[in-house]
């Protein structure tokens, strides 16, 4: 198993290109299942999660070609032959459940393994299933699989009211509704930029959708969808992560491709901590104004609130802030696994349930640490970049799920970082 060695190297400055969004790409790819015409995605990120979704779609009979060094994905579902998404692939990645809605909507039946538990919480899929049931699906849960059928071969439009916001359930229901008979209204829908991106792509394919980006999305079902070419939206989580580099190390970094609308609530917190964020014509320029950052309180919320996927990285920053910060995690019940690792590096953190109290120290100290999940892994790298001495982060396969060429991007800003292959 690879690990990453980081050595604190003072202020870091430079330009970092931000990739297309992993989470957008993972929902755009299954949209191919809605049509027998080609779907081309540009600006795709080069990540192991994308390779897992590729494998899953190929196992169903879809064609997925990775072109231009992985930046372009050419997908086609004209010859789907298998309607079962197998446990062996689904267990690797929860987003696999996103094939259920489109397959059921287009073919009237599908069998998809239930994704297993996940390190950051129980993460059930009940909201996905309830939405599809509201649209007329017959669901049978047996042997760890959802066996789904649409009576008469087609889903029907419905009013779906989500009891709380779920990104994945909104995406599954949105895709399914595009081919349902009649109109669907999704209430309390997620408003994440990835949902807006999905809706934009589906509209290019011929879907009739209104209200994406608000909490009510209305979809008028159509008989068939066509092909499309779509550019994947910028990854706001990768963007936020690299915005933290100058915040935690000092210096000035321009994140190429970044826009403020994607990270407004996060940028507000950075500003309150003493980090300036400016929109330029090619991205976001971030610089630490002077001295140490100040403590700020953070609460994670669905978009447009502070993203849970930036909580671990923000905690790394606040470990070095002047004063005490309170971080509340409201989306996932077990998402502070990076805290004990940061404590190994000299951080002062008290965790009680979903609340972490962080008292900043002047300087963290390098240590061997272990990545426990995707965002935790990058928070340890950020902490290592600001720490005195050497930090070795093990289990970096988590990192490779969501960050492409991380060493290269950080090295371009002057970081000392290298991968140690086992």
Name the token pair of 192.
């994440």
CB of 375 vs ligand UD1, minimal distance in Å: 8
CA 46 to chain centre: 14
Residue 310 found at the interface with ligand UD1 (CB under 6 A): no
For the CB of residue 77, give the shortest distance to ligand UD1 in the complex, in Å: 20
Q: Give the range of 122-130, 243-251, 277-285, 339-347 binding ligand UD1 by CB under 6 A.
A: 122-130
373 near ligand UD1 (CB under 6 A): no
CB atoms within 10 A of CB 317: 29
Q: For 34-181, list the strands marked E by DSSP.
A: 39-42, 63-67, 72-76, 84-85, 109-113, 138-142, 145-149, 159-161
- 183: which residues sit within 8 A by CB, 6+ positions away? 157, 218, 219, 220, 221
Question: Under a CB-based contact definition with an 8 Å cutoff, are residues 5 and 390 in contact?
Answer: yes
Give the shortest CB-12-to-ligand UD1 separation in angstroms. Answer: 26
Closest separation in Å from C-beta 168 to ligand UD1: 3
- Confirm if 362 and 333 have CB atoms less than 8 A apart: no
Under the binding rule (CB under 6 A), the answer on residue 330 touching ligand UD1 is no
Would you count residue 266 as binding ligand UD1 (CB under 6 A)? no
By CB under 6 A, name the one of 67, 116, 126, 187 that touches ligand UD1.
126
**Rounded least distance, CB 387 to ligand UD1, Å:** 26
- Both tokens assigned to 369: 């640490």
172 binds ligand UD1 (CB under 6 A): no
Respond yes or no: is residue 118 known to be catalytic.
Answer: yes
- Does 234 help bind ligand UD1 (rule: CB under 6 A)? no
Residues 6 or more apart from 175 whose CB is under 8 A from it? 27, 30, 31, 34, 98, 101, 102, 105, 198, 202
Q: For ligand UD1, which residue of 16, 18, 23, 177 counts as binding (CB under 6 A)?
A: 23
Binding flag, residue 372, ligand UD1 (CB under 6 A): no
Q: Which residue, 249 or 331, has its beta carbon nearer to ligand UD1?
A: 331
The residues, ordered by sequence, that sit 6+ positions from 335 with a Cβ below 8 Å of its Cβ are 120, 121, 308, 311, 312, 329, 373
Interface pick for ligand UD1 out of 121, 151, 152, 153 (rule CB under 6 A): 121
Closer CB to ligand UD1, 346 or 402, in the complex: 402
| Identity of the residue, 127 or 321, whose beta carbon is nearer to ligand UD1 in the bound complex | 127
Is there binding between residue 313 and ligand UD1 (CB under 6 A)?
no
Residue among 25, 118, 201, 319 flagged as catalytic: 118
Residues β-bridged to residue 285? 254, 278
Between the alpha carbon of residue 405 and those of residues 69, 238, 254, 322, 402, the distances in Å are: 13, 12, 17, 32, 10
- Using CA atoms, how far residue 190 sits from 137, 161, 196, in Å, is 22, 11, 9
CB atoms within 10 A of CB 80: 18
Q: Which is nearer to ligand UD1, 77 or 96 (CB)?
A: 96
Does 92 sit near ligand UD1 (CB under 6 A)?
no
Nearest-approach distance from CB 289 to ligand UD1, in angstroms: 29
Among 39, 95, 317, 410, binds ligand UD1 (CB under 6 A): 95
* Residue selected from 33, 219, 298, 331 as contacting ligand UD1 according to rule CB under 6 A: 331
Q: Is the peptide bond before 304 cis (omega within 30 degrees of 0)?
A: yes
Do the Cβ atoms of 270 and 286 come closer than 8 Å?
Answer: yes
Contacts of residue 179, defined as CB under 8 A and 6 or more positions apart, other chains included, come to 34, 105, 106, 154, 155, 221, 222, 223, 224, 225
Residue 308 interacts with ligand UD1 (CB under 6 A): yes or no: yes
Nearer Cβ to ligand UD1 (95/413): 95
- Report the nearest approach of ligand UD1 to the CB of residue 267 (Å): 18
Would you count residue 332 as binding ligand UD1 (CB under 6 A)? yes
What the block records as the tokens of 273 is: 């901590």
User: What is the token pair recorded at 31?
Assistant: 């949209």
The count of chain residues that interact with ligand UD1, using the rule CB under 6 A, is: 20
| Nearest Cα to Cα of residue 218 among 268, 258, 174 | 174
Instruction: Report which secondary-structure segment, H or E, holds 418.
Output: strand 416-420
User: Is 144 near ligand UD1 (CB under 6 A)?
Assistant: no
- Under rule CB under 6 A, residue 168 binds ligand UD1: yes
- By C-beta, is 61 or 354 nearer to ligand UD1? 354
Stretch that binds ligand UD1, among 162-170, 205-213, 280-288, 392-400 (CB under 6 A): 162-170
Smallest gap from Cβ 121 to ligand UD1, in A, equals: 5
Q: In the complex, which residues of this chain contact ligand UD1 (CB under 6 A)? A: 23, 26, 94-95, 121-128, 166-169, 308-309, 331-332
Catalytic residue numbers read: 118
């Amino acid at each position: 198993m690879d690990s990453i060695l980081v050595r604190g190297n003072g202020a870091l400055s430079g330009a970092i290109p931000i990739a297309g969004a992993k989470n957008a790409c993972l929902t755009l790819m299954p949209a191919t299942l809605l049509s027998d015409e080609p779907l081309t995605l540009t600006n795709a990120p080069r990540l192991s999660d994308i390779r897992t979704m590729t494998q899953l779609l190929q196992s169903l009979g879809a064609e997925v070609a990775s072109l231009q060094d992985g930046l372009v994905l050419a997908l086609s579902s004209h010859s789907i032959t298998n309607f079962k998404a197998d446990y062996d692939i689904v267990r690797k990645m929860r987003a696999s459940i996103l094939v259920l809605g489109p397959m059921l909507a287009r073919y009237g039946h599908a069998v998809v393994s239930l994704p297993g538990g996940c390190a950051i919480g129980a993460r059930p899929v009940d909201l996905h299933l309830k939405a599809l049931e509201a649209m007329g699906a017959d669901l049978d849960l047996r042997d760890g699989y959802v066996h789904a059928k649409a009576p008469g071969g087609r889903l029907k439009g419905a009013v779906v009211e989500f009891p709380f916001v779920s990104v994945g359930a909104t995406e599954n229901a949105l895709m399914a509704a595009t081919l349902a008979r009649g109109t669907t209204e999704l209430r309390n829908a997620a408003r994440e930029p990835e949902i807006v991106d999905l809706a934009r792509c589906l509209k290019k394919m011929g879907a009739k959708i209104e209200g994406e980006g608000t909490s009510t999305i209305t979809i008028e079902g159509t008989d068939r969808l066509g092909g499309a070419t779509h550019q994947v939206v910028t990854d706001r989580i990768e963007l936020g992560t690299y915005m933290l580099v100058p915040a935690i190390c000092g210096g000035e970094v321009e994140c190429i491709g970044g826009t403020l609308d994607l990270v407004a609530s996060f940028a507000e917190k950075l500003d309150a901590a003493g980090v300036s964020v400016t929109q330029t014509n090619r991205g976001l320029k971030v610089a630490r104004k002077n001295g140490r950052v100040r403590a700020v309180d953070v609460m994670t919320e669905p978009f447009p609130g502070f993203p849970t996927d930036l909580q671990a990285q923000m905690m790394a920053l606040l470990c070095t802030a002047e004063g005490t910060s309170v971080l509340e995690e409201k989306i996932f019940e077990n998402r502070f696994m990076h805290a004990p690792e940061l404590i190994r590096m000299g951080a002062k953190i008290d965790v009680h349930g979903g609340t972490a109290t962080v008292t900043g120290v002047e300087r963290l100290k390098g240590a061997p640490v272990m990545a426990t999940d995707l965002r935790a892994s990058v928070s340890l790298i950020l902490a290592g970049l600001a720490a005195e001495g050497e930090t070795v982060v093990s289990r970096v396969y988590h990192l490779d799920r969501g960050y492409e060429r991380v060493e290269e991007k950080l090295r371009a800003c002057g970081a000392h970082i290298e991968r140690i292959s086992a």
